[in-house]
Amino acid sequence: MHAQTRYYIQPDRVFDGFEMQEGWVVVVEGNRIVSAGPGTQIKVPSQATVLRFPGCTLLPGLIEGHSHLFLYPYNITDWDTQVLKETDTYRTVRATVHARNTLMAGVTTVRDLGTEGAGYADVALKRAINEGIVPGPRMVVAGRAIVSTGSYGPKGYDDDSKIMLGAEAADGNELIRVVRDQIGKGADFIKVYADYRWGPRGEDRPSFTLDELKLINEVARSSGRYLVCHAKSKEAIRRAVMAGAETIEHGDYLDEEIAQLMKQHGVTFFPTLGAVESIQRYRGWRKGTDADPALVQQKKKSFAIVYRAGVTIGLGGDVGVYPHGENVYELELMVEYGMSAIDALRAATSVNARTLHMENEIGSIKPGMLADLVVVKGNPLKSISDLRQVRWVMKDGVVYRDEK
Ligand SMILES: [Zn+2]
């Protein structure tokens, strides 16, 4: 047994996952937080390394609720090409860099929502990170994710050729086997595309029946895992919520009634504002100069509805559509679209921890929690963009970034 490393960390203020606490200090021993409170009350323990961060804020390591570490921005390489023309091996090499960039940005946990054609490479990346082989955030992963036959892409190729999909297709009773197979291969939860843009005019329409979603949920839940649904249309969101989904991704076309349903069922909503704005920019939109495109207007409208209704909103930007390590972009948009900075900070920490069923380990600063911590210059309660000014990152008691 060797003595555990002790840190006494003194920034100007600490965001504890719920409130901003001026003048607090935090003590870490090994990989756990052992005390947190006013600096006037907590003394420096013996043999502790003292870290002072004047002008800085200490927060729990940020938690990204909707990432795709196996994708990178579509303005560099479009989605079809990434899925069809890049090998899983190549994509995994890239993903290790995405993982490192994410951690260095102060994001110490990600929920990754599907490799989009790279099989279970996410399960392997998670293992390599846990073993300390490559630096990265702690990961909870979807694996391949599930789509209905006929709905998902890549699409539009000659019908004679067999084109691989960005997720695993299954329908009806076959879903039982596929859900169990994904669990067996390492899925921490089940991700389903409850709708997709396959309507007669290319509009988002449900891809599974309510009974199919209920079946998926029942099989996932009996293994202790939960259901996550990509859903933009009202009907798909309604079915997903009624089937027992715990989180709804995107939600572009939700209305007041659907927001109330989400609230009643206690689902967490991940708005993915960053993905929508990025794709519009890639198509030539000059934000601030040009008028908002229809999809951005729709996003602003639906975000205002859920926020007003009091639906739980987490940080989940669909990062990968925009660069890994730019996770704060989503929080900036949440604030721009009307959320208070304190709610945005909660979304990135305590709210996401609870949504991931990890609130007893991460997402807040109090004795007993894992030492996942980030220090930023400035005060993100005054300017959310200060979260970009990362000075120091600790994950599981190990310092990964130090720019004092
Ligand atoms: Zn996604």
Separation CA 155–CA 119 (nearest Å): 19
Q: How far is the CA of 140 from the centre of ligand 1 (A)?
A: 14
Question: Hey, how many other C-beta atoms are within 10 angstroms of the C-beta on 248?
Answer: 28
How many whole angstroms from 193 Cα to the centroid of ligand 1?
10
Phi-psi region of 346 (alpha: psi -120 to 50; beta: other; left: phi over 0): alpha
The residue-averaged pLDDT of 279-298 equals 98
- pLDDT, tens only, 93-118: 999 999 999 999 999 999 999 999 99
| DSSP H or E segment with residue 391 | strand 390-395
CA dihedral of residues 167, 231, 273, 315 (deg, nearest 10): -80
Token pair, residue 381, equals 């309660």
Give one DSSP letter per residue of 12-61, joined into a string. Answer: EEEE-SSSEEETEEEEEETTEEEEEEETTTPPPPTTPEEEEEEEEEEEEP
Q: For residue 139, is pLDDT > 90?
A: yes
Instruction: Answer for the pair 192, 208: CB distance below 8 angstroms, yes or no.
Output: yes
Name 326's Cβ contacts closer than 8 Å, sequence gap at least 6: 105, 274, 319
Compute the average pLDDT of residues 61-82: 98
Q: Compute the distance from residue 211 Cα to the ligand 1 centre, in Å.
A: 24
Ligand 1 center from residue 145 Cα (angstroms) = 10
Contact between 363 and 60 (Cβ < 8 Å): yes
pLDDT of residue 210: 98
Residue 318's pLDDT is what?
A: 98
Model confidence at 155, pLDDT cuts 50, 70, 90, reads very high
Task: Please report the domains of the chain, with CATH numbers, ordered by start residue.
Answer: 6-60+364-402 (2.30.40.10), 62-355 (3.20.20.140)
Q: How far is the CA of 71 from the centre of ligand 1 (A)?
A: 10
**What's the whole-number mean pLDDT along residues 26-51?**
97
Dist. CA 7 → ligand 1 center (Å): 37
Q: How far is the CA of 323 from the centre of ligand 1 (A)?
A: 13
Cβ neighbours of residue 290 closer than 8 Å, sequence gap 6 or more: none
66: CA distance to ligand 1 center in Å? 6
Q: How far is the CA of 70 from the centre of ligand 1 (A)?
A: 11
CA 321 to ligand 1 center in whole angstroms: 8
- 304 three-state secondary structure: helix
Across the range 48-70, mean pLDDT stands at: 98
Question: What number is the average pLDDT over the span 285-297?
Answer: 98
Q: Is the pLDDT of residue 1 over 60?
A: no
Residue 63 above 50 pLDDT?
yes
Q: 318 C-alpha vs ligand 1 centroid, how far in Å? A: 5
Q: What is the pLDDT of residues 208-220, one digit of tens each?
A: 999 999 999 999 9
The contacts of residue 138 (CB under 8 Å, 6+ apart) are: 108, 109, 110, 126, 129, 130, 362, 372, 395, 396
Mutual angle of helices 234-243 and 210-222, in 10-degree steps = 40
> Residue 93 Cα, ligand 1 centroid: separation in angstroms?
20
Q: What is the pLDDT confidence band of residue 4, given thresholds at 50, 70 and 90?
A: confident
Residue 389's Cα: distance from chain center in Å?
20
**Cα separation, 83 vs 66, whole angstroms:** 19
Strand ranges for 92-216 from DSSP E: 107-112, 138-141, 146-147, 168-169, 190-193, 195-197, 204-206
Any bridge partners for residue 62, and if so which? Answer: 107
Structure tokens belonging to residue 30: 């090994």
- DSSP letters along 151-186, please? TSSS--S-TTS----SSEE--TTHHHHHHHHHHHTT
Helix, strand, coil distribution of the chain in percent, nearest 5: 35, 25, 40
Q: How many whole angstroms from 113 Cα to the centroid of ligand 1? A: 6
- Mean pLDDT computed over 254-278: 98
Average the pLDDT over 158-166 and give the result: 94
- The answer, yes or no, to whether residue 10 has pLDDT greater than 50, is yes
Percent of the chain with pLDDT over 70: 99
Residue 404 has a pLDDT of: 74
Alpha-carbon gap, residue 204 to 202, rounded angstroms: 7
Q: Model confidence at 18, in pLDDT bands (50, 70, 90)? A: very high
What's the CA-to-centroid distance between 227 and ligand 1, angstroms? 14
Ligand 1 center–CA 317 separation, angstroms: 8
Residue 271's contacts (CB-CB under 8 Å, 6 or more residues apart) are 250, 251, 299, 302, 303, 306, 313, 316, 317, 330, 334
C-alpha 116 – ligand 1 centre gap (Å): 9
- Classify each residue of 348-377 as buried b or exposed e, where b means 16 or more C-beta atoms within 10 Å of its C-beta: bbbbbbbbbebbebbbbbeeebbbbbbbbb
CA distance 33 to 225: 28
Span from the CA of 319 to the centroid of ligand 1 (angstroms): 8
User: Which contiguous run of DSSP H or E holds residue 228?
Assistant: strand 227-231
Structure tokens at 94: 């890239």
Cα-to-centroid distance, 78 and ligand 1 (Å) = 15
Distance, in Å, from the CA atom of 221 to the CA atom of 24, rounded to the nearest integer, reads 40
Q: Is 194 helix (H, G, I), strand (E, B) or coil?
A: coil
Mean pLDDT over residues 347-368, rounded?
98
**How far does residue 67's CA lie from ligand 1's centre (Å)?**
6
Ligand 1 center–CA 398 separation, angstroms: 29
Is the confidence at residue 277, as pLDDT, over 90?
yes
Task: Give the Cα separation of 286 and 99 in Å (integer).
Answer: 29
Query: Quick one: 45 exposed, middle or buried, by C-beta within 10 A (0-12, 13-18, 19+)?
Result: middle
Question: Separation of 33 CA from ligand 1 center, angstroms?
Answer: 32
In this model, does residue 182 exceed pLDDT 60?
A: yes
Ligand 1 geometric centre to CA of 68 (Å): 6
> What is the CA 333 to chain-centroid distance, rounded?
15
- Counting residues of the chain whose pLDDT is more than 90, the rounded percentage is 99
Task: Tell me the pTM.
Answer: 0.98
Cα-to-centroid distance, 69 and ligand 1 (Å): 10
pLDDT at 3 over 70: no
What is the overall mean pLDDT for the chain?
97
Q: Determine the distance separating the centroid of ligand 1 and the alpha carbon of 119, expressed in angstroms.
A: 15
Which residues, in sequence order, are CB contacts of 285 under 8 Å at separation 6+? 293, 296
Q: Output the CA 221–ligand 1 centroid distance in Å.
A: 22
